[in-house]
Amino acid sequence: MKTGDQIVQELPWKWGVQGRIFIIGGLGYLFDAWDIALNGFLMPLLSKDFGLSVSESGLVATANLVGMATGAVVWGGIADRIGRKKAFSATLLVFALFSVLGALSPEYSVFLVLRFLAGVGLGGCIPVDYALVSEFSPRKHRGRILTALDLWWPVGVTLCGLVATSMVPLPGNWRWMLSTMVLPALLLFWVRRGVPESPIYLAKVGRETEARGVIDGLVARTGAVAEPYEIPVPAPGEGSDRPKGLRAGVDQFRKLWTYNPRITSVSWLLFITIMLVYYAALTWLPSILKEEGYNDTASFMGPTLMSGVGILGVLTSTWLVDVIGRKWLIGLSAPVATAALVAFAAMLKAQTAALIWIGAFGFLIQLTIPVLYAYVAELYPTPLRASGFGWASSVSRISTGFAPMLFGSVMWPLLGLPMTFTVLGFVVVLAVIWMAFGAPETKGKSLDDVDEEAEPEPAAAVPAPAAKAPVQG
């Protein structure tokens, strides 16, 4: 007899059912992209308004990204403990509150604190959204769905660039840029209240009646043929008797490494290196272009061009992910994307060539990042999925959070841009090589059955699924 999670993963895809969750989750992801991109636009404006040095202006991105790193861990753990639905809604409410307060900041130190707290709220969006969308997605479409979810990222960055550029002439421009996102975020918070809880999550924590209600509703609304299924009893330590509070966070961290150290190390290294390259470009691009003599409008349009072309990259990645697989797509596109960034830095004096290379980087890096997110979301079993993604996202944002200061005060002045990006590309190559040996391909495999050769800890900590679905492809 099939299990409930197998029923969910074998349902037909319907835009009115799973597609609705995809869209609602994606809009939260759009806000995450918008907020991170906004750091790059805020830095030169705040520097002028508050009289900041280069290293001080880098704290804008640092405060926000470290807040997101904290939020990714906190909300990932919360989502694995209280459920995807509650965490799904609360992240945007926290973000909206501290964003509007940030727009009213009377001084720079207060602004940094509020940017950190807004980041804590928004940092939970990506791990929670990916966990929820992956658990509602049919297995045979899951790779494309999770990869397509990243389409919202360049859309968010592009919208941010267009809105920020239009607000440059306004008095108090950076305050208006922050305020713009608040009302849409609150509206999305209200819409998210109608999203059902993940039935796979409900089954794993022993809430069988609720799980059956959601599963039966999905079967009816997708027009699938109803068939009997079972909900396996959760192993000790995974139902209502799970640890709480700080102990829960420590417990989840321990499980990530005892489940499979290779998978966790691959996830962390890929996130750290690839996102470090991307955030370095996204955060500093307006300042780099302004330093080279571009005017405010032209320097703001650089990231907009990068993200606009990136939309095509995401669409291409969505098609390629199930053609060549997750590992090959990451392994090929990430190093080539970094090479394009090196070429951009080397040709900054030639404006047309520089813009062509930054467009090429935007396309190539968006071949990489969508499949990276899909890949890491698939590598962990259900009890660890949000936490696994959350920790990987968190460690990358901690590293990228401090990167703006390091980039602006040390690497760029001492090494120059071409050598700085070459060093970053070298570490990307090392991470890709480790991925080739340290983690499995997830293409076509069922969730909770990705790494058949892994040696997870005893069932009390990470339960194996009661029955294995056949492996496709």
pTM: 0.71
Number of alpha carbons in the 13 Å side-chain half-sphere of residue 252? 29
- How far apart CA 56 and CA 406 sit, in angstroms, is 11
Domain 2-438, what fold? Growth Hormone; Chain: A; (1.20.1250)
- Which residue blocks in 227-325 are alpha helix, DSSP H? 245-259, 261-291, 296-324
Tokens of 4: 């409930």
pLDDT of the residue at 450: 56
Number of alpha carbons in the 13 Å side-chain half-sphere of residue 451? 19
pLDDT of the residue at 131: 73
Number of alpha carbons in the 13 Å side-chain half-sphere of residue 171? 0
- How far apart CA 436 and CA 421 sit, in angstroms, is 23
Residue 201 has φ and ψ, to the nearest 5°, of -65, -45
DSSP structure string for 342-356? HHHHHTTTSHHHHHH
Three-state DSSP class for residue 110: helix
Rounded-to-10 torsion of CA 44, 49, 55, 61: -60
Q: What stretch of H or E contains 229?
A: strand 229-230
Three-state DSSP class for residue 383: helix
Domain positions in the chain? 2-438
- Which of these, 340, 354, 321, 329, lies nearest to 277 by C-alpha position? 340
Determine contact, residues 378/142, Cβ cutoff 8 Å: yes
- Which of these, 134, 152, 203, 29, lies nearest to 442 by C-alpha position? 134
pLDDT of the residue at 437: 92
pLDDT of the residue at 221: 93
Q: Per residue of the chain (473 residues), what is the pLDDT tens digit?
A: 888 888 998 999 998 899 988 988 888 778 778 888 888 888 888 888 888 877 777 788 788 888 887 887 777 677 767 777 777 678 878 888 898 899 999 889 999 999 999 988 887 777 677 777 888 888 888 778 877 887 888 888 888 888 888 888 888 888 999 888 787 778 777 777 778 888 877 887 888 899 999 999 999 999 999 999 998 887 665 554 555 545 655 777 888 888 889 999 999 999 999 988 888 888 778 877 877 777 777 777 788 888 889 999 989 998 888 888 899 999 999 999 999 999 998 888 887 888 899 999 999 999 999 889 888 888 888 778 777 877 887 788 777 777 666 766 667 777 778 888 899 899 999 999 999 999 888 877 666 565 544 444 443 334 333 333 333 33
- How far apart CA 229 and CA 3 sit, in angstroms, is 5
